[in-house]
Chains A and B, each alone.
Chain A
Amino acid sequence: MYMAKDLLSKIFLQIKKEKYKIFCPEIKDEEIFISELENPPSKDLLGTITGKSWKYFLMPPRETILNFEKKIRAPKFSKNKKALFGMNIVDLKALEICDTVFKDDVYYQKNRKNILIVGFSPALKNFKNDFFEFVSLEETPFDIFIESKENPIFYAGSKKGARILKKCGLKFKEIKYSQRKKDEKVFAIKKMINKGAEIWNEIGEICLACGKCTTVCPTCYCFDLESATGPEKKMERCSGNCFYDDFTRIAGPPPKAGEPSGHKFLNDPKEKIFFWYYHKFVRVPHGYGLPGCVGCGRCTAACPVGIDIQKNIKRLLKK
């Protein structure tokens, strides 16, 4: 596959000129990280599934949301512009979920406004996986999308993107985003989820509840609101993890003498991993009509006991 490096450089340098910090996939210690780059990246890495997902640019693992000084207020929002350069199409689908879920969230939206999305994927025709019937660019959020092939095709998904491409002197197609209609596949999975007792029992036996899947998952957006004590009184929002014991704990007396106090609604790895699947395949579709999993495969790669989400869903659908 050939793609003129200078075309890519042109876009990269134009974005840089517009004062964006540019983040791209980069290999470090044999793993694919997302790092800030000064120079155009190697095109082989663009569009790859990075080890960690891009979500921490959208939802910082820890951010101050309220300062309790004389007046209670939100901190000043940063104006730093960031470009996420080389996101795969499935990562853009994950972005769509986050954009939808946090539609009314000021912190997310203020940050999101400063982010430029540059997607990069090979031919899109007939793209599908276990979680989507089909994917089309019209139903995917991005500013610039590069369809990588011998003669790359450029797309602009926003005015911001169109302006940059224009300045590069490139020909491009304009795409208008609209949220997709009901995805039948998602609802098929949703219908089956309660029939998978056998699968849930099996994975519940081997799951360690380590929570690695949630940290790499691009659609795991849950969070905790934490209050910091000490001289600086503030409330922070931190990435949550539904596999951790305090996720559902409520205060209260110990259920039995000698037991820890309070009550938990998720008590063992089986309940926890089912809760996790339920979020992806029931709650997100129920609330937003979107699939909560995009099939990027990061959780499967990260799982220390080899739980394979794609395999499990395939098995579920065969029932």
Chain B
Amino acid sequence: MNNYLPKTAKVIDAYSEADNSSVLTLKLKWGRLKFCAGQFAMLGLPGWGEAPFDICSSPLNSKFFQFCIRRVGGLSQKLADLKKGDEVLVRGPLGNGFNDLAKLGAKNILFLGGGCGFVTVRPIIKEIIERELHKEKGVQLFYGARSEENILFRKEQEEWAKSADVKIILENPKTNKFRRGIITDLIKTAKIPEDVAVIMCGPPIMYRFCIAALGKKCRPEATYLLMERRMHCGVGVCQHCALGPYYVCKDGPVFTLKMLNEANVQL
């Protein structure tokens, strides 16, 4: 098997999302893409290279899959500009992901999302809602963004709020509709149950402060951190995404805090 051979996918829908990004709905030309929430894929365009993106649609649907692409570099600009009918190369799914969200080892789930890392919250919460796991577990979602125009999936969040306790906090709100502050302010003031699995999707600096703010509620074995690195091979060989003894592309992108602590990885 050739690890580097991509599959061709067709863009069947594309729409603009906040934060200068675009959501692409893709369908493989042949076959389906079976994946777990948290897994990613390499998206590429001939001549433009490839880069890793988190799959952000519900893993319960393998016929179509989505990516939320923010225009930050040459390739992402090209990808985000794709239109319905265009073709794109997909290599994946790669990485570990959550193979069963029912087995997180806690009665409650707390999502902490920040910046563009928030994209990865979407497939996880979608799976939770579609599988009706929120009926057995209390689900909280705290999201810290810069300003109103940076809030991702704003419309969808209204839908999620029916099944989860969704709280948004903004660094620089322009209206008084949102609370001003950073995500740790939410942790300090909200009621968080003792028995909670924490899933963090955001920049590592956010993880550091959130872990401190959570105190004893952050149990290393039930705290899941999604890590981001530059990637090339996607199969744990090329060394670009090395994180301590691990590779984000193979052993991650979902790590428990326990795994990172054991290996002395500094966040």
Contact = CB atoms under 8 A, between A and B. Distances in A.
Nearest to B48: A227
Contact of A66 (B5, B72, B74): B5
Contacts of A251: 51, 72-76
5 contacts: A104-B235, A222-B240, A223-B238, A224-B232, A283-B245
A252 B76 CA distance: 10
A265 B233 contact: no
A102 interface: yes
Contact of B49 (A194, A222, A227, A279): A227
Contact of B46 (A68, A74, A275): A68
A223 B232 contact: yes
A227 B46 contact: yes
A105 B51 CA distance: 20
Nearest to B116: A252
A240 B237 contact: no
Of A223, A251, A261, chain B has the most CB atoms within 10 Å of the CB of: A251
B46 A105 contact: no
Interface string A205-230: 00000000000000001111111111
B229 interface: yes
Interface of B: 1-6, 8, 44, 46-51, 72-76, 89, 228-230, 232-233, 235-240, 242, 244-245, 264
Contacts of A230: 47
A249 B236 CA distance: 17
Contacts of B44: 227
A248 interface: yes
Contacts of A229: 47-48
Given A251-B76, A253-B72, A225 B238 contact: yes
A287 B236 contact: yes
B242 A275 contact: yes
Contacts of A224: 232, 238, 240
A106 interface: yes
Of B44, B74, B230, chain A has the most CB atoms within 10 Å of the CB of: B230
Contact of A265 (B3, B46, B229): B229
Of B1, B76, B228, B238, chain A has the most CB atoms within 10 Å of the CB of: B238
A242 interface: yes
Contacts of B233: 223, 225
Given A222-B239, A227-B47, A227-B48, A72 B76 contact: no
B73 A262 contact: yes
A262 B46 CA distance: 23
B37 to A, nearest CB: 22
Nearest to B46: A68
A72 B50 contact: no
Nearest to B243: A265
Nearest to A194: B264
Given A233-B46, A252-B72, A74 B230 contact: no
A65 interface: yes
B228 A250 contact: yes
Given A228-B47, A240-B240, A283-B245, A250 B230 contact: yes
B230 A265 contact: yes
A226 B48 CA distance: 9
A282 interface: yes
